[in-house]
Structure 1
């Protein structure tokens, strides 16, 4: 559940290394290896006072465990996109952690499953209870956090002013007991008032409020991409300073197009450096989640991988 409590938008990757996508017909769901599409992103709604979540597609519809069988006489049932008039249990899923992966279970004990094999099962998604060992891992999903949920901070309580207790005067005082008025410098009341701590009940100034807002550390938009341009051998000119820019995408192909625009080069390969061997390897997979900053090297397509 901790995967989803901090996440606002996620992508789900099945055991077959394919992402769950919402179909453009706004009714079905399927699997695809390319997770760069907008319909691969799912908005997380946490159900209050429970361990269940709802997943909403880019079309504003919820991931739903239907009662319709996927095929005749089959145990698997269809998973659809629906928008019920009243929110019910069919759109609620319970995340169950399994190592670094999760299983998504319905209220009725069935699991979200990414199917493989031959048609009509290939790239389909159903909910079922696996009965064979060979398909037991088909209900395991990797969660890629695309956008974190903004943290809400409770307002700080304003301090209460300290009450000032006046000095006690004897109720039985008579004119014969009164003494001449002491001088201000020797009055015990003045001395007591001088020793009181000053209490400032003014509201904070505009600059103070702005400083407090700036200290909230809001989430940054996108990630910082640091890059160097190498030659055909992958060598980098150390005299040149590493360049950088802000990147809001989530796919290697989008990053490659952005680097073409930044460098002015057309036929390039985007590489990362192995921290152990210091060798370059091409970046083909999805970018790291949570908008982690990256260091890459841009080399010509004639570069030969070692």
Structure 2
């Protein structure tokens, strides 16, 4: 959680060096190698002691939906949505640190997962609960801080944080 406390805007990069982007349709999310676009930037909101929310450049929040990605497949869609009072915790993500990376866990215990392979999986993002060790490594994300909170002043004791987040 400490990785996000000073961040205002971040980029999420998968272990395959692809960034999570908000699609122009303002509903879906996908992966792309070009993380320099505004669509790759996500505002960070702390919600309580253990949870965060991500807001896209379209003003919508990253949500773990209950909709299956494909019929008969375990993974479920991750979408952008308006923040509504009737939403359960599906827009809240719990970061779990693993070395210099994080896993982002939903309120139901599944993880944000970048997918690869042939279509229809290529460059998609879903959420599910990995059971195999190799799959657990695939749900790790690098956090790149784009913008820190205005009240944050960098000093020598904070240089470790910048190193962990992959920025200089």
TM range (shorter): 0.7 to 0.9
Give the deviation of 1:89 after TM superposition: 0.5
Aligned twin of 2:71? 72
Aligned twin of 1:22? 22
Q: Within 5 Å, which residues of 2 pair with 1:40-189?
A: 40-48=40-48, 50-86=49-85, 88-151=88-151
Partner-residue secondary structure (3-state), 1:3: coil
Name whichever structure is richer in strand by fraction: 2
Partner-residue secondary structure (3-state), 2:3: helix
Structure 1 residue runs of 4 or more that deviate by more than 4 Å after TM superposition: none
Give the deviation of 1:31 after TM superposition: 0.3
Give the deviation of 1:5 after TM superposition: 0.6
Equivalent-residue separation in structure 1 for 2:132 and 2:96 (angstroms): 20
Equivalent-residue separation in structure 1 for 2:129 and 2:41 (angstroms): 25
Give the deviation of 1:84 after TM superposition: 3.3
Equivalent-residue separation in structure 1 for 2:108 and 2:151 (angstroms): 32
Which has the larger Rg?
1
Q: What CA deviation, in whole Å up to 9, does each residue of 1:81-119 have, x standing for no partner? A: 000321530100000100000000011100000011111
Q: What CA deviation, in whole Å up to 9, does each residue of 1:66-85 have, x standing for no partner? A: 00000001110000000032
Partner-residue secondary structure (3-state), 1:2: coil
The alignment covers a number of residue pairs equal to 156
Higher relative contact order (CA 8 A, sep 6+): 2
Equivalent-residue separation in structure 1 for 2:32 and 2:138 (angstroms): 15
Structure 2-normalised TM-score? 0.88
Structure 2, unaligned stretches of length 5 or more?
155-165
Partner-residue secondary structure (3-state), 2:136: helix
Q: Within 5 Å, which residues of 2 pair with 1:203-214?
A: none
Equivalent-residue separation in structure 2 for 1:134 and 1:121 (angstroms): 17
Equivalent-residue separation in structure 2 for 1:44 and 1:124 (angstroms): 22
Aligned twin of 1:191? none
Structure 1-normalised TM-score? 0.49
Give the deviation of 1:149 after TM superposition: 1.2
